[in-house]
Structure 1
Amino acid sequence: MKPASRARATLENWLHGQWSKKGLFSLVFSPLSLAFLAVSRYREKHATPERLPVPVVIVGNIYVGGTGKTPVTIAIARGLMKRGWKPGIISRGYGRKSDAVQLVTPDSRAASSGDEPLLIARKTAAPVAVGRDRVAAGRLLLKSFPDTDIIISDDGLQHYSLHRDVELCVVGVHGIGNGWVLPAGPLREPPSRLDRVDAIILNTTDEILDTRTPRFASSPYLGECRNLATGETLPIDDLAERFEGKSFAAAAGIAVPGRFFAMLRGRGIACSPCVELGDHYDFRANPFADITADCILITEKDAVKCRQVPGIASDSRIWTVGYDIALEDYLLDFIDQKAREARHPNPSANGATHES
């Protein structure tokens, strides 16, 4: 792994550590946080939301960086499909070379689509569009796939130019940190923003939140593993049995790599080394070249990029570990109901009455 990538991963961990408390770092940067908050509120106040012709569900967060929004988005899309919806997903596509609006297919290049939208396209088979302008992305998706009857936005809670019918905020392992906005804290918006969303999804966190907003728990789990070179699939326990007595390593280019490593340990798989690549690692440098382990475990988010790098894609030691999230049926029913209300508005909800 390049020294620059290692330094980035170290910096990310250091920042999260600083943001977990109200120490000297936060006090020094608190004046800039006041400026950040003022700009954020100005943008929200002066935004003119554009409404798409179908209900829009926002899956966002207030904590900068990864909280598990993408796995939650995938789980919601699958849950809505089972309830008869035909969802499409939009995203900015972090890490793309362009901000232009475009469709994403399972065969797209990660460099042009972004790793997370490509993962969504592959795991849901739903239409996916990316673009800095989420409204334009939604319009392109609906034009290209006119059967789509609901839009799910992976991220975009702060993208106020897009009208939303359901707002979901994912709170991840870091909770809300020290409760301050950037740069003194890790938040894009103050904790009071949680009072205005429709529901909070707690993803591997025991954070105690001071809000009356409904909260739902999510349950992450490791699933089927796939060999990067051969495509062979095995349940994770069978993979552990196959390599019993041999050496394992793990690598993760996600926001909270420690969670992935801990889940592997929880399945009895001790990996050494456990390589933190930094979120959205691009794999222009092969981080596996110097690893001597018999089996190397990586995340699905990393795999969509690794498959497109010949020197890595042919490494038969590498196995992708499936990662999914189980959501409460109550949450999916809640989203389904609010989306149906948005699709078929009730006039009496606005104080109107039917003439007899």
Structure 2
Amino acid sequence: MKLPAKTLAERWLKGAYQGSRWLAVLKPLGALYQRGMARREQAYRRGRKTSWKAPVPVIVVGNITLGGTGKSPLVAWLASWLVGQGFTPGIVTRGYGGKAPYYPLRVTATTKVVESGDEPLMLAQQTGLPVVADPNRVRGVQALIAAGCDIVLSDDGLQHLALARDIELLVVDGARGLGNGYCLPAGPLRESSSRLQRVDAVIVNGDLKQPLPVAPVTHMQLAPVCWRRLADGTRFPLTPLPFALPVHGVAGIGHPERFFRTLSTLGVEGDWHPLADHQRFSAEALSFAESRPVVMTAKDAVKCYDLAPPNSWILDVEATLPSEFEHWLAARLSALS
């Protein structure tokens, strides 16, 4: 497979996290963007713009950076944990990358990925819970409530202030942190880093490489749990490897390097092929000159069932969080009732 040349967006994102000097000329635009976001948030706080309050608790899982932080694994963990606590949760998401014939779209394990987008379909398959994709999250939450959900998880949506929330969880990639610390387009921030001080909890995915302007934080780890054969869904333990080496590793996620590092720690060797987040796959894109096993993420797999070669594999991962976070969340939910 001939890999596509890096797009300007990919080069920009790399520079935003590595502190490239050429982005300095965009700082005035970043300052304007930051002020605009601050005024927007203030308009909601002062009532000039209104937020819809759901009759059930709403937990928003979001971030303030571009490029992927691990929100969806946390949403899947929260969904499982809430079921264990006796709740009937539902998940609302924008459905990025999908184009449905109508909204709200109820996403099931058999929904077409071109309609739902990759993350909603992945969450529906992983959790078996009601998942609704809708750019209008208020409408999506209303659909989940009508379906019998007594608590809602919003996958992303920290900046979607038209939906009121009871708990805000902000996820940060520990390896990349807040990048160069500037707002778009000078850096990767969707809003000022001061936002970390106004959420209910900051969750760091992995080991933190640079300090954050908030303390304390909760640490989350993404732990590999099994290999899954794409063709039939059969699961295999992590060791011994159920495929021969070397492999082609592909990842169309916000931070592909994190996936490739995980493969390396599991003893997987081969060639790594980082792709754009939410990459649209084709049979040609997964056809390599060297015939090897293809290893991918669960997020990518939902787009590849009819495209990937027979010897394709998924690495399933799960989020793990400390018991202290569980106790804190249980107490917060109890206080809402």
Question: TM (normalized to structure 1)?
Answer: 0.87
In structure 2, what is the equivalent of residue 106 of structure 1?
A: 109
- Tell me, in whole angstroms, the C-alpha distance in 2 between the residues paired with 1:226 and 1:91: 25
The CA deviation at 1:18 is 1.8
- Tell me, in whole angstroms, the C-alpha distance in 2 between the residues paired with 1:177 and 1:294: 35
Over 3 Å counting, the alpha-carbon distance change for 1:185 and 1:227 in structure 2 is same
Over 3 Å counting, the alpha-carbon distance change for 1:12 and 1:67 in structure 2 is farther
Q: Is the 8 A contact 2:229 2:312 kept in 1?
A: yes
1:1-356 alignment, distance < 5 Å: 5-8=4-7, 11-20=8-17, 23-46=20-43, 47-98=49-100, 100-143=103-146, 145-146=147-148, 148-172=149-173, 173-206=175-208, 207-212=210-215, 214-238=216-240, 240=241, 242-244=242-244, 246-271=245-270, 273-284=271-282, 286-307=284-305, 309=306, 311-312=307-308, 315-342=309-336, 344=337
- Tell me, in whole angstroms, the C-alpha distance in 2 between the residues paired with 1:231 and 1:209: 40
Aligned to 1:211, the other structure's residue is in SS state: coil
The CA deviation at 1:210 is 2.2
Q: Is the 8 A contact 1:60 1:69 kept in 2?
A: yes
Letter matched to residue 156 of structure 1: G
- Tell me, in whole angstroms, the C-alpha distance in 1 between the residues paired with 2:282 and 2:256: 19
Over 3 Å counting, the alpha-carbon distance change for 1:291 and 1:59 in structure 2 is farther
Letter matched to residue 26 of structure 2: F
Q: Is the 8 A contact 2:281 2:303 kept in 1?
A: yes
The CA deviation at 1:42 is 2.7
Query: Unaligned stretches of 5+ in structure 2?
Result: 44-48
Q: Is the 8 A contact 1:80 1:332 kept in 2?
A: no
Over 3 Å counting, the alpha-carbon distance change for 1:291 and 1:88 in structure 2 is farther
After superposition, the C-alpha distances for 1:40-73 in whole angstroms (9 at most, x for unaligned) are 1232233311101100101000111201101111
The CA deviation at 1:184 is 0.5
Aligned to 2:239, the other structure's residue is in SS state: helix
Please report the RMSD computed on the Cα atoms of aligned residues, expressed in angstroms: 1.9
Q: Is the 8 A contact 2:222 2:318 kept in 1?
A: yes
Q: Is the 8 A contact 2:182 2:189 kept in 1?
A: yes
- Tell me, in whole angstroms, the C-alpha distance in 1 between the residues paired with 2:76 and 2:18: 32
After superposition, the C-alpha distances for 1:155-213 in whole angstroms (9 at most, x for unaligned) are 0111111111101100013101111110101001111110000101010241311223x
Over 3 Å counting, the alpha-carbon distance change for 1:297 and 1:136 in structure 2 is same
The CA deviation at 1:332 is 2.4
The CA deviation at 1:253 is 0.7
Aligned to 2:6, the other structure's residue is in SS state: helix
Q: Is the 8 A contact 2:90 2:151 kept in 1?
A: yes
- Tell me, in whole angstroms, the C-alpha distance in 2 between the residues paired with 1:94 and 1:190: 23
- Tell me, in whole angstroms, the C-alpha distance in 2 between the residues paired with 1:65 and 1:34: 20
Aligned to 1:7, the other structure's residue is in SS state: coil
The CA deviation at 1:302 is 0.5
In structure 2, what is the equivalent of residue 350 of structure 1?
A: none
Over 3 Å counting, the alpha-carbon distance change for 1:85 and 1:45 in structure 2 is same
The CA deviation at 1:6 is 4.0
- Tell me, in whole angstroms, the C-alpha distance in 2 between the residues paired with 1:227 and 1:253: 18
Bigger radius of gyration among the two? 1
Query: Unaligned stretches of 5+ in structure 1?
Result: 345-356
**Identity of matched residues, %:** 36
- Tell me, in whole angstroms, the C-alpha distance in 2 between the residues paired with 1:17 and 1:112: 30
- Tell me, in whole angstroms, the C-alpha distance in 2 between the residues paired with 1:84 and 1:319: 34
